[in-house]
Structure 1
Amino acid sequence: MTALGVVFRPQLPPERLRDVACAADEAGLEELWLWEDCFLESGIASAAAALAWTRRLRVGIGLLPVPLRNVALTAMEAATLHRLFPQRAIVGVGHGVQDWMAQVGARVDSPLTLLEEYLTALRALLRGERVTVQGRYVRLDDVALDWPPPAAPPVPAGASGPRTLRLSGRAADGTILTAGTAPDAVRRARRLIEEGRAEAGRTDPHRLVVYFHAATGPDARSRLEAELRGWGDAPTADLGAAGDAETVAAAVVRLAQAGADTVVLQPTADEPDPEGFVRFVAEQVRPLVP
């Protein structure tokens, strides 16, 4: 079954999150995803609040930029979320936007090396292991969590280029693809992920999460086209869906057929009714997606 979610865009002020999260929970939406984009809103603080305000909604962070966060701190915060809200938190990590990392003095020479070291250490800590490692970037001396999760949670990684996709297959438990990824690109990403998994001898589940631009309402088409142009993409049907529930659901199904396990609909930055958008997805689109 394809899971369905919606992004809470950090272009909205933090005080809007409660109403959107509660609307999603009440409407039966499966997942609400958050971004830790510089310099907008914190991923961990926002996720903790959204989880506390809701009862059944899963809340994903896609993603925490690893150059900004010591891996032990991320492990502590992720473990706390997983213990407070079992089976409801999804904490993803990734390179981060390199220009932003440079702005805060955190950019590294080899983002791939950092991400692989980070994923290896983070997953071990969340398994309750005691970790000593002296990597190029990640260095831990006899570190273990006092309160690890009862069961090790999956850790997905954001990826786009071929090397990072293979790395995600080797070292992460899932992969997050950005909006603007057409079905053919989803298929290519899945192949590269599987190459990495085969290299590492992994046979465990690996969930593929794909963001997808979507808009509804009377001005949906014009808003979506402007959004795609803002991301530097051509306004094509493969990269976004604008219109009624049938139109959006058909696009979700195409992504699922290409290999997406979860499709997260990304509203435009100027979406006039975020609460209405999550209700539209949960109540109208969800019944049309197998």
Structure 2
Amino acid sequence: MADTDRPAPQLGLAFVPTLAPERLRTLAPAVEAVGLDELWVWEDCFKQSGVASAAAALAWTTRLRVGIGLLPVPLRNVALTAMELATLERMFPGRLVPGVGHGVQAWMAQVGVRPASPLTLLREYATALRALLAGERVSVEGRYVQLDDVALDWPPAPPPPLMLGGSGPRSLELTAELGDGTLLAAALTVEQVADVGALLARTRGAGHPLVATVIVATGADAQQRVDAEVPLWGGEPGRGIGVAGDAARVAAEVRAFADAGATSVVFQPVGGEPDLDGWLGFLGGEVAPLVRG
């Protein structure tokens, strides 16, 4: 049974890197125009820069929250990440939602930065990044993070929320411990999100922000298009991953994710979506009112 006292989740669009970078120029204002709350850009190797995409999306919109989901920490010096996020937050206060995480380890190996202990790196990195964004002067001699009397000249006040991404139990516990919220991988079922929500509640307590992504298609052959998309993100068709159907069907799935603990539900298009603008209008004009109502 749905929890009628639970607030409606924030609704957003996942600008997945299967979309060409230049497509963001029209999509970011369109996400805002149809009334969605958030736009999430990705940083996948070797496709698109999360920071560059977020900067452009923030500049092309006026109220939209722009999330970065997520920056792989082995790829980026923590001082550089702090500088970039602080700059964006000061230019566009209150609208940036950055996320960091392990990154895909095979990709990290390709560029020679795969850590022996991803958990240790993420702990050191998130702790140092949070301190730098808070305006602290930081010195640390960690296994992976080394800083000698480093402080930002222009720290944001207040700093943006720092989201952490993870998938395994130990990583998720770390996101609950150190993050202002948790980013989940794509292609998860409602039941999987509920399991994560329960783990986070045990670690952090109720109310920990949780961002879930759902693959959505509507119109002709919607289910076939979802089933073709799911394996590309590591899932298996027919196991409840993604949703196909009309506005009522999609809204019901969003509410199920919210009941499972998701505070933000981010819509992901299938690859080769035949009418991306129409799909976005469907989400903002038909699905969002049902969710919020």
TM-score range, shorter chain: over 0.9
**1:42 aligned onto 2:49:** yes
CA distance, structure 1, for counterparts of residue 67 and residue 274 of structure 2: 23
**Separation (CA, whole Å) in 2 of partners of 1:232 and 1:170:** 27
22-31 or 130-139: bigger deviation? 22-31
* Secondary structure of 1:213's aligned partner: strand
Q: What's the offset of the Cα at 1:269?
A: 2.0
Alignment correspondent of 2:214? 212
CA distance in 1, matches of 2:275, 2:145: 42
Residues 39/69 of structure 1: CA separation in 2 closer, same or farther (3 Å cut): same
Partner of 1:15: 22
**Pair 1:126-2:128 in alignment:** no
CA distance in 1, matches of 2:105, 2:289: 39
Contact 1:167 1:193 in 2 (8 A): no
1:185 maps to 2:187: no
Q: Which residues of 2 match residues 162-201 of structure 1 at below 5 A?
A: 162-197=169-204
Tell me the alpha carbon deviations over residues 112-140 of structure 1, each in whole angstroms, 9 at most, x when there is no partner. Answer: 10001111111111111111111100111
**Corresponding residue for residue 105 of structure 1:** 112
Percent of pairs identical after alignment?
59
Superposed CA deviations along residues 65-121 of structure 1, whole A, max 9, x for unmatched, are 000000111111111111111111111001000111001111110001000111111
* Correspondent of 1:268 among 267, 270, 276: 270
Q: Which runs of 5+ in 1 are unaligned?
A: none
Mapped partners of 1:272, 1:212: distance in 2: 18
**Unpaired runs of at least 5, structure 2:** 1-7
The amino acid of 1:80's aligned partner reads T
| Counterpart residue number, 2:248 | 246
* Bigger shift: residues 106-115 or 267-276: 267-276
- Give the aligned partner of residue 285 of structure 1: 287
Counterpart Cα distance in 2 of 1:42 and 1:100: 14
Q: Secondary structure at the match of 1:289?
A: helix
State the match for 1:67 in structure 2.
74
Tell me, in whole angstroms, the C-alpha distance in 2 between the residues paired with 1:29 and 1:3: 8
**2: distance between equivalents of 1:253 and 1:273?**
25
Query: Aligned partners of 2:186 and 2:20: how far apart in 1?
Result: 21
1:147-175 Cα deviation digits (max 9, x unpaired)? 11111221011111000000111111100
CA–CA separation in structure 1 for the residues paired with 2:197 and 2:88: 29
Partner-residue secondary structure (3-state), 2:48: coil
Q: How much does 1:283 deviate?
A: 1.2
1:222 to 221, 224, 242: 224
2:208 & 2:87 partners in 1: Cα distance? 23
| Contact 2:201–2:208 under 8 Å retained in 1 | no
Q: Deviations over 1:148-207 (max 9, x none)?
A: 111122101111100000011111110011122222222221232234337xxxx9x631
Shift of 1:219: 2.5
Q: Within 2, Cα distance between the matches of 1:193 and 1:129?
A: 28
SS in 2 for 1:91: strand
What is the TM-score normalised by the length of structure 1? 0.94
Q: For residues 104 and 161 of structure 1, what CA distance do their matches in structure 2 show?
A: 23
RMSD: 1.5
Structure 2 residue corresponding to 1:116, chosen from 116, 123, 140: 123
The residue type paired with residue 92 of structure 1 is G
CA contact (8 A) 2:187 2:234 kept: no
Give the CA deviation at 1:229. Answer: 2.6
Secondary structure at the aligned position of 2:201 is classed as helix
Distance 1:30 1:186 in 2: 21
